């Protein structure tokens, strides 16, 4: 079975530790869009061990610091699609770290809530 996230060339790695790696997304939502990926092949975030979560967390922080230095974003979205119904297309777990910049969308209110229309209005 071939898997793009099992076969990442070492030269593409932004950061790594024993259990996870970080790379740029090939089709970025924003400049600096990073993926944090466990080395072990499995699809579901909820199947990750505590050690893998800790390794992913370490790389999230390290790449966040890198992006802050390089791109000076104004915010971030961190997200995981779990299952095809939730939009997952690559069935090897990955955590999206997406830098956000003031004005990159007209109205950012809601952030990751915008994956689908609300059931009830989100108003104050
Ligand atoms: P998903 O929809 O499964 O949460 O996200 C898959 C992500 O992988 C997408 O953001 C997509 O742009 C990214 N992607 C797909 N193919 C490749 C690839 O070959 N290399 C890299 N670096 N990212 C990829
Ligand atoms: Zn894989």
The answer to whether residue 34 is domain-embedded is: yes
Ligand 1 atom, smallest distance to 90 CA: 3
Split into its structural domains, the chain has a count of 1
SS3 state at 36: strand
pLDDT at 113: 94
pLDDT at 15: 98
pLDDT at 14: 98
Taking the CA of 30 as reference, the closest ligand is 1
- Tokens matching residue 29: 């939502």
Ligand 1 atom 20, closest CA? 26
The predicted model scores a pTM of 0.97
Q: If phi over 0 gives left and psi between -120 and 50 gives alpha, with beta otherwise, what is residue 58?
A: alpha
The answer to whether residue 65 is domain-embedded is: yes
Tens digits of residue pLDDT in 106-123: 999 999 999 999 999 887
The answer to whether residue 123 is domain-embedded is: no
* Contacts for 54 with CB less than 8 Å, ≥ 6 apart: 19
pLDDT at 124: 64
The answer to whether residue 3 is domain-embedded is: no
Ligand 1 pocket, residues with Cβ under 6 angstroms: 4, 23-27, 81, 87-90
Ranges 12-16, 62-66, 83-87, 118-122: which has the least confidence: 118-122
Question: What strands, in cross-sheet order, belong to the sheet with 95-100?
Answer: 15-16, 20-24, 34-38, 95-100, 75-79
CATH code, domain carrying 88: 3.30.428.10
- What is the C-alpha separation between 113 and 124, in angstroms, rounded? 15
pLDDT at 39: 98
The residue written with tokens 């699809």 in the block is 43
68-77 average pLDDT score? 98
- Structural domain boundaries, residue 40: 10-102
The answer to whether residue 1 scores a pLDDT higher than 80 is no
- What is the C-alpha separation between 98 and 32, in angstroms, rounded? 7
Ligand 1 atom 24, closest CA? 26
The answer to whether residue 109 is domain-embedded is: no
Taking the CA of 28 as reference, the closest ligand is 1
């Amino acid at each position: 079975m071939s898997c793009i996230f099992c076969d990442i060339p070492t030269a593409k790695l932004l950061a790594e530790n024993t259990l996870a790696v970080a790379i740029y997304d090939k089709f970025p939502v924003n400049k600096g869009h990073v993926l944090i990926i466990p080395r072990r092949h499995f699809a579901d975030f909820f199947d990750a061990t505590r050690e893998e979560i800790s390794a992913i967390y370490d790389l999230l922080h390290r790449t966040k610091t890198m992006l802050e230095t390089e791109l000076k974003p104004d915010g971030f979205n961190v997200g995981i699609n779990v299952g095809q119904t939730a939009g997952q297309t690559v069935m090897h777990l990955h955590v999206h770290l997406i830098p956000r910049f003031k004005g990159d969308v007209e109205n950012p209110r809601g952030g990751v809530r915008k994956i689908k229309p609300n059931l009830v209005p989100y108003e104050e």
